[in-house]
Structure formats: structure tokens, C-alpha cells
Amino acid sequence: MKRKTIRSLLYNTLLMIFCLIILFPVVYSILVSLHEPKTAFLSIIPQRWTLENYARLFSHGQFPRYILNSLINGLGGAVVTTLAATLAAYSLARFQFKGKAAIEAFILGMMLLPGLTNLIPIFKLASDLKLLNTYTLMILVFGAYGVPLSIWIMKGFFESVPKVLEEAAAIDGANPVQTFLQVVLPITIPGLIATLLVNFVYNWNNFITPLILINKTSMKMATVGLFDFQHVLEGNQDELLAAACVVIMIPAIILFLRLRDYFLRGMTEGAVKG
């Protein structure tokens, strides 16, 4: 028993130190953002705390526009993903049909194709189709990115709905669409909304895709805007840069804290099923 106590003391100490290392960069960026201009590196803790950087960030410049673009592309993509994946997942969870195994294998296989190697051809295709710098393109690309993994997660949700419920509805004379809308959907809706929000966070965070597919200032997403800021502000307005960092971190942190288990589930499924 005593050996166990010593061990858990040791483990807790090591884990706490590790967590401090993990947390430090995030906490540090928040601290920098609360410094007065030009004082970021004089002390870790601000000598005088201020929210001025956040006010400046939203009162002039392109940043509010970037945030709006991130919201439009991020949510738009997540909605497309969720709609397409819901339909496909329901089909795969509930029906037996010819070619089903092949379709499942295809979807799983596509999970393994990296997004990175597609960016140059997508850029070229989009430029030929005059789709560069449009919401349509970003929503389509983000929409597709999330589909394979979301199908897998939602398939699990649909499989957990007892078939008896659907059979009862069918006996009561409901057609398949009514059964889906009135019986299956209400049970699975929390899961679907969570999937939508998880996809939103991944889209919101995405940096390399909009970096390549958007070069017009008014259409840039916040992550790419931050990359531009880094070049312009670094070394003289780091406090402002930090504020932009924190604003981009906040939605992801809040949604992660609310939906931790959905995020973790997505990560394991993505790796183990892929």
C-alpha cells in the first residue's frame, strides 16, 4: 500500500510538471496580450494590465473581417460535412446493399490521403474554375475534408439507436423519411451537433489550406491574417500579435472544454479506423 502512495505521489508530481510545460506557451501568449505596448518582454507578468490590445485589434484593420471569414468558411464547411456525413452514415448503418463494403473501404482509404499533397492541384483547379478567393471554394474543401471521419463517428451514433424504435415507427405506418426525422434524428441530434462543432474547430484552426487557396486580403481567414501580422507586427507590436493569437485560440478552447469526449473519440476513430 505504501509503495502505491509513493508511486502516485511521484506520478502526480511528474504529470504536473509536464502539464506546466504544456500550458506555458498558451498562458504566456495570454500574458503578452495583456501588456501595454512595447512592454511585452520587460517582464512576464504585465506591470500594468490592459485590454487595449484587444480593443485596437477590433477597432481598426482587417482583423474583424478575417474573423468573419473564418466563421463563414468554418461553419459553412462544418454544415456541409455534417449534412453529407449524416446521410451517408445513416445509409451505411441501417441498410444492406450491394457494394456497401467497397464504399466503406473507399471512404476509409480516403482518410489516409493527406490534405497537404492535394493543395497544389486544388489551387490549380480552383484557379481554372475561377473559384480562388471565394467562400464557395473554402466551404466545399472544408466540407469534404471532414466527411470520412464524420461518417465513421456518426455511423456509431446511428448504430446505437435501438432498431426496435424504428421498427415500431414502421409498424405505425411511418415511411423511412418520417422514421428518420421523427425517431432517429431526435436521439442522435446531440451527437450530430457535437460533430458539427468539432468540424468547425478543425476548419477554424486550419492554416495551410487557406494560406494556399486565398490571397485576396478581404477573403483571408484569421489564421492566415495572423501569419501576415506575424511578419508586420513582430518585434514592435508583439502585444497586438498576442491578442490576435488569443482571440483565435478562444473558440477552440471553449468548444474543446465543452466537447472533450467527442474530440477524443474523433481522434481515436481517425487513427484506429483509418
Partner 1 sequence: MKNRSGGIYPYLLVLPALLLILAVTLYPSIYSIYLSLTRIRGGVSEFVGLDNFNRILSSPSFYESLQVTLIFTFFYVLLTVTVAYGIALMLNSGLKLTGVYMTIIFLPWILSEITTGVVWRWMFYPKEGIIQNLIAPLFNNVALITRPAGALTIVIAATVWRSISFAMLLLLAGLQTIPHEINEAAEIDGADGLSLFRYITWPLMLPTTVVTAVFILIQGINGVGMILSITEGGPGRATEVLGIMMYRQAMQYFNFGFAAAISVILLIINLILAAFYLRALRRESVLAA
Counting contacts by CB under 8 A, is residue 106 touching partner 1?
yes
Amino acid at 64: P
194 CB neighbour count, 10 Å cutoff: 20
Counting contacts by CB under 8 A, is residue 135 touching partner 1?
no
The single-letter DSSP state of residue 37 is: T
The single-letter DSSP state of residue 218 is: G
- Print the binding letters for residues 183-202 with partner 1: x by CB under 8 A, - otherwise: ------------------x-
Candidates 51-59, 60-68, 186-194, 221-229; binding stretch for partner 1 (CB under 8 A): 221-229
Q: Which of residues 48-87 bind partner 1 (CB under 8 A)?
A: 80, 83-85, 87
| Grid cell for residue 183 | 425517431
Which residue among 54, 63, 66, 90 contacts partner 1 (CB under 8 A)? 90
Counting contacts by CB under 8 A, is residue 236 touching partner 1?
no
Counting contacts by CB under 8 A, is residue 94 touching partner 1?
yes
Counting contacts by CB under 8 A, is residue 39 touching partner 1?
no
The C-alpha cell 463517428 sits at 153
Candidates 45-53, 55-63, 99-107, 182-190; binding stretch for partner 1 (CB under 8 A): 99-107
**In this complex, which beta carbon is closest to partner 1, that of residue 152 or of residue 191?**
152
**Pair 133, 216: CB distance under 8 Å:** yes
Residues contacting partner 1: total by CB under 8 A? 97
Q: Rounded CA gap, 13 and 19, in Å?
A: 10
Q: Rounded CA gap, 221 and 205, in Å?
A: 10
Which residue among 121, 130, 173, 216 contacts partner 1 (CB under 8 A)? 121
Which residue among 79, 131, 144, 187 contacts partner 1 (CB under 8 A)? 144
Q: Which of 66, 122, 120 is nearest to 247 (CA)?
A: 66
Which residue among 34, 40, 138, 214 contacts partner 1 (CB under 8 A)? 40
Q: Which of residues 245-264 bind partner 1 (CB under 8 A)?
A: 245, 248-249, 252-253, 256-257, 260, 263-264
38 CB neighbour count, 10 Å cutoff: 11
Q: Rounded CA gap, 133 and 75, in Å?
A: 17
**In this complex, which beta carbon is closest to partner 1, that of residue 47 or of residue 96?**
96
Counting contacts by CB under 8 A, is residue 149 touching partner 1?
no
Amino acid at 72: I
Counting contacts by CB under 8 A, is residue 213 touching partner 1?
no
Residues in the chain: 274
Which residue among 1, 5, 60, 97 contacts partner 1 (CB under 8 A)? 97
| Grid cell for residue 227 | 501569419
For the bound state, the minimum distance from the C-beta of residue 113 to partner 1, rounded and expressed in Å, comes to 5
Q: Which of residues 153-172 bind partner 1 (CB under 8 A)?
A: 163, 166-167, 170
For the bound state, the minimum distance from the C-beta of residue 70 to partner 1, rounded and expressed in Å, comes to 10
| Grid cell for residue 88 | 451517408
| Grid cell for residue 190 | 446531440
* Residues 6+ positions from 272 with CB-CB distance below 8 Å: none
CA distances from 91 to 95, 200, 222, 257, 258 (A): 6, 24, 36, 31, 29
